[in-house]
A and B are shown apart, each in its own frame.
Chain A
Amino acid sequence: MTGFFIWLEETSISVWVRESPSMLAFPGILVLHTVGMAFLVGTSMAISLRTLGVAAGLPPRTLLKFTPVMWLGFAVNAFSGTALLVAYPTKALTNPVFYVKLFLIAIALAGLRYLIRNIPGDPGLQAVARPSRTRAVAGLSIVCWIGAITAGRFLAYTYTRLLSTGYF
């Protein structure tokens, strides 16, 4: 694995993201990751909160029309997250917290997909099918987003190896 890390860390894209003095490189990618997160997690939490009974009178199905905003946020974060991973593969992939973060994102997204499928298509209908299970999924999705954000923050403090190149 170390051989792969060294190869990746020496690619020009990895070096640019990590070492360029430009604010568009590492700092700019962190900004993208933050803004994408706000729209992905914010919209997802709004859908979950509505499922939990908050904002009665807001037809749940119409709220789903905002999902393009959410998927745009997801796309921005998949891209920016990949760029950050390419910049520091050793730092992330040797830290168990990174896998915890990915696992929590997967659960949060699976919960979100369940909610989107189970919110009734008729805009006049307020109730969802199997309300207790749907609410449990909504709560789980919120908890997993909070966990994923926390794990993401802790990545900056819990890594044991920064790079495989240049630091021996």
Chain B
Amino acid sequence: MDDLARALIAWFGDLPMSDFMIASRRAWPIAESFHFVGLCLLVGIVGLFDLRLMGFVKSISPAALHRLIPFAILGFLINVASGITFLSATPDQYLGGNAAFELKMAFMAAAGLNVGIFYTTQFRTVRTLGPGDDAPLAARIIGGASLVLWISIMTCGRLITFYRP
């Protein structure tokens, strides 16, 4: 284990909710429930937007569908918060050499980069598209990548428990 992993384990383990997460019998499943509800909002809504970019359900304009995105962001924030509570309780399970968790973080970084590229290079064009219009090829590829990445993130996330160090 390298120094960074050791430092991160110590940092997450010292978070104020750490003791509560360990001591409470219900805190862990409740945090998991939040994580699953957040995942539905995030991946459900982003997934629909990705499908529209890819060329499905073109009768909806991307701009109209984009109005749901604040709820996807809400889902993401719920999952960052609940995810941190998991790390605070058992940081070594995640950071002590868990291939599923490491791959999940790599996919999340890729998804973050993908969405950054989308908003900096494609959104200006995509928001002007009306019903029936095709998104530019780059935006279609970004939408497809987003869908694949989020499904991969969920897959790795669900497998974390089977790759505990």
Show the binding face of A for B, using Cβ within 8 Å. 23, 27, 30-31, 34-35, 37-39, 41-46, 49-50, 54-59, 62-63, 65-66, 69, 123, 145-146, 149-150, 152-154, 156-157
B114-155 CB mask vs A (1 if < 8 Å, else 0) is: 000000000000000001000000000000000000110011
A66 touches B43 (CB 8 A): no
A31 touches B36 (CB 8 A): no
In the assembled complex, how far is the CB of residue B41 from the closest CB belonging to chain A, in whole angstroms? Answer: 6
Q: Which of A30, A38, A156 contacts B40 (CB 8 A)?
A: A38
Interface size class of B (residues with CB under 8 A): 35 or more
List of A residues within 8 angstroms of B43 by Cβ: 38-39, 42
In the assembled complex, how far is the CB of residue B20 from the closest CB belonging to chain A, in whole angstroms? Answer: 17
B32 on the A face (CB < 8 A) = yes
List of B residues within 8 angstroms of A156 by Cβ: 29
In the assembled complex, how far is the CB of residue B118 from the closest CB belonging to chain A, in whole angstroms? Answer: 19
Binds A, one of B6-14, B59-67, B85-93: B59-67
Q: How far is the CA of A92 from the CA of B7 in the complex (A)?
A: 41
List of A residues within 8 angstroms of B150 by Cβ: 38
A31 touches B57 (CB 8 A): no
B71 touches A37 (CB 8 A): no
B68 on the A face (CB < 8 A) = yes
List of A residues within 8 angstroms of B42 by Cβ: 42
B149-165 CB mask vs A (1 if < 8 Å, else 0) is: 01100110111001000
Q: How far is the CA of A41 from the CA of B45 in the complex (A)?
A: 10
B57 touches A149 (CB 8 A): no
A62 touches B59 (CB 8 A): yes
B29 touches A35 (CB 8 A): no
B33-50 CB mask vs A (1 if < 8 Å, else 0) is: 100110111111101100
B5 on the A face (CB < 8 A) = no
A31 touches B155 (CB 8 A): yes
* A59-B60, A69-B48, A157-B29 given; A27·B162 CB < 8 A: yes
List of A residues within 8 angstroms of B155 by Cβ: 31, 34-35
B71 nearest in chain A by CB position: A49
- Additional 8 contacts, C-beta under 8 A, given A34-B157, A123-B59: A27-B158, A31-B159, A34-B155, A42-B41, A42-B43, A69-B47, A69-B48, A69-B51
List of B residues within 8 angstroms of A54 by Cβ: 67-68, 71
In the assembled complex, how far is the CB of residue A94 from the closest CB belonging to chain B, in whole angstroms? Answer: 19
